[in-house]
Structure 1
Amino acid sequence: MRAAYASAFDADNPLAALTVGDRPEPTRPEPDWVTVQVRASSLNHHDLWSLRGVGLSGDQLPMILGCDAVGTDPDGNEVVIYPVVPTPGDPRGVSILSEHFPGTFAERVAVPRMNLLPLPTGLSATDAACLPTAWLTAWRMLTTKGRVADGESVLVQGAGGGVATAAVALGVALGKRVYATSRDAAKRERITELGATAVEPGARLPERVDVVIETVGAATFDHSLKSAAPMARIVVSGATAGHEPKVNLRRVFAMQLEILGTSMGTPDELTELLAFCAEHEVRPVVDSVVPFSRIEDGFARLASGDVFGKVVIDHTA
């Protein structure tokens, strides 16, 4: 079957480590695993990090990439794949598809049957393929970890990428006052179109916020601290611009701030997210849809840094 996979590692030019070609049909490591025919998938920065060699070792190559997917199960049902699978050999006890088990950038993928969730009526395969990683992470950051409540406000750092853009859209849909930063004027305009207040990085906000969505890291963390209201929650799920920020601990304890780490979410949270998007007609922000035959173009688009929202791969084209 055709698949897109990491055939090597290249820290400086990850696209050079990407290969598209034939791979064996998926195997089922346990009896409760099933094979899903993939209809749509979406790219995440996790895929680029894998090509750089982060989270993978040489003896795992070649590794089919991809975390997110919507497809058809053996019974003909349209399903959304929850990408976190039990992994006894991993210190976490779990892993994401494409870390230990082949991912979703293929014609077919094997997953535990319990990882299949029904595709809700009203959500297209393109929409739903955006949700299991970036949008699920944003949902968990806002709700479970951020505990955003009525009347509270949210700051999203570095809107444009998948998680941050999802946090903007979901925060607005939840009825919160949302501020979002971006260095790019065009992206700030897009943020405004989503219903949030767009500001330049480091700008003073009209108010201190109750929840900060932080995926940038060192470049924005001081601004996140200074923008936080007393008792605020700063939720971190990434560090694309440095993972070792300077932290003013006096501000942390004086303002009684919470700094919370998170990644992904649970199957129940993905079920909640799918239902919320279907019920409230929330649709993911899609940067572009690329046919699987041109998946390299999708990777190049993500690597360029010019994306606003998700890059979706159409496996039927």
Structure 2
Amino acid sequence: MFAVYAAEPNADAPLDSLTVGERPEPEVPEGWVAVKVTAASLNMHDIWTLRGVGIKPDQFPMILGCDGAGTLEDGTEVVLHSIIGDPNWSGDETLDPKRTLLTEKHQGSFADTVVVPARNAIPKPAGLSSVQAAVMGTAWLTAYRMLFTKSGLKPGQTMLVQGASGGVSTALVQLGRAAGMRVWVTGRTDEKRALAEKLGAHATFPSGERLPGKVDAVFETVGEATWSHSMRALRPGGAIIVSGSTSGPNPGADLQRLFFLQLRVEGSTMGTRQELADLLTFVDNAGISPEVGLELPMDKAEEGFRAMLNGDTAGKIVFTR
């Protein structure tokens, strides 16, 4: 079958290991289902897989793609939940110590067919296209959990999103606006800030600029470059919700501010199957159209990977079959 895969790990030149070609048809274990892929979205996790991060060398070749949308054998349209854990685990899947993601142990979704546990194929709402649904399982699910499960924000409160144009950031802007938050966003360029305003941000600011007031929660995916600004932006008792550190993982903690103002720092990773189902319903009911910055046929995947590495797009990158 057709697939886009990592032939081997390459830490220094990840795209050198990106291969577009043929892979064997997958076997379907008992309790699993084959999903014919119609659309799948690109995530930074795919770049890390090409680099060999979070995956053992003997797992290669590895088909890339953490999430996507497609159809079951009976024609049912589904969205993929990419967290695959211990079938005996009964709690929050993101806390399962044996959990893994597509592309870490199991082959991914950049292919004609992907095989997942039956419970990981969630019915797609009719109001979402396959391209829109394909962005839900990683970036949008991460944003949903950050906002609705972790932050404790209520409608009318003020949220700050650091970094205006990434997949998680654009999802936070659209979800926050739909949920009735006052949404502030920082961005490095006029173009990135204009995108945030188009998506519903009430106000945008250059990165690091002093804000006109304190915020109730900050949403962090950037890390070192924005951390001190995030700490200064919070009101007493506010929260920083962190799901990434693209600029570096070791920010100055500013512990005095943390304890004196009783701030809360909360980590957040992906989301549960139920959160994905709730997210799909919310997006459908609210009439949200997820921001897709670049849509390409899957055989042109290298163009999408290069765009992500170069920071040339805003919103999600989606591949279609």
Q: 2:221 aligns with which of 215, 218, 222?
A: 215
Query: SS of 1:205's equivalent?
Result: coil
- In the other structure, the counterpart of 1:13 is 13
2:280 alignment partner in structure 1? 274
1:252 aligns with 2:251: no
Contact 2:217 2:238 in 1 (8 A): yes
Aligned to 2:106: 101
The count of residues paired between Structure 1 and Structure 2 equals 313
Task: Please tell me the residue identity of whatever aligns with 1:83.
Answer: S
| Residues 1-317 of structure 1 aligned to structure 2 (within 5 Å) | 1-28=1-28, 30-86=29-85, 92-196=97-201, 197-315=203-321
Amino acid at match of 2:9: F
- Cα displacement string for residues 225-267 of structure 1 (whole angstroms, at most 9, x for unaligned residues): 0001111110111010000111110111111111111110001
C-alpha separation in 1, matches of 2:34 and 2:172: 31
What SS does structure 1 have at the residue aligned with 2:84?
A: strand
Measured after TM superposition, the shift of residue 10 of structure 1 is: 2.2
How far apart are the structure 1 equivalents of 2:137 and 2:96? 22
Gaps of 5+ in 2: 88-94
Q: What CA distance in whole angstroms lies between the structure 2 residues aligned with 1:87 and 1:19?
A: 31
Q: Is the 8 A contact 2:170 2:199 kept in 1?
A: no
Report the CA distance between 1:87 and its aligned residue.
Answer: 5.1
Aligned partners of 2:85 and 2:96 also within 8 Å: no
1:249-297 Cα offsets, whole Å, 9 max, x none, are 0111111111111110001111111001100101110001101121111
Q: Determine the C-alpha separation between the residues in 1 that align with 2:100 and 2:33.
A: 17
Report the secondary structure of 1:133's partner residue: helix
Contact 1:142 1:211 in 2 (8 A): no
Cα distance in structure 1, aligned partners of 2:99 and 2:319: 25
Tell me how far apart the structure 1 counterparts of residues 116 and 96 of structure 2 sit (CA, whole Å). 20
Secondary structure at the aligned position of 1:154 is classed as strand
Could you tell me the TM-score, scaled by structure 2's length? Answer: 0.95
* C-alpha displacement of 1:91: 8.0
Q: TM-score, with normalisation over the residues of structure 1?
A: 0.96
Q: d(CA) in 2 for partners of 1:309 and 1:157?
A: 14
State the 1:177 CA deviation.
0.8
Deviations 1:92-129 (A, max 9, x none): 21111011000000000000001111110210001010
Runs of 4+ in 1 over 6 A off after TM superposition: none
Quote how far apart the aligned CAs of 1:164 are: 1.1
Q: Which amino acid aligns with 1:162?
A: G
> Is the Cα–Cα contact under 8 Å of residues 14 and 52 in structure 1 kept in the other structure?
yes
Opposite residue 22 of structure 1, the aligned amino acid is E
Are 2:164 and 2:195, in contact at CA under 8 Å, matched by a contact in 1? no
Shift of 1:26: 1.4
Structure 2 CA distance for aligned equivalents of residues 93 and 291 of structure 1:
34
Unaligned runs of 5+ in 1: none
SS at match of 1:151: coil
Alpha-carbon offset, residue 204 of structure 1: 1.2
What is the CA RMSD across the aligned residues, in angstroms? 1.4
Q: Report the alpha carbon displacement of residue 173 of structure 1 after superposing the two structures with TM.
A: 1.2
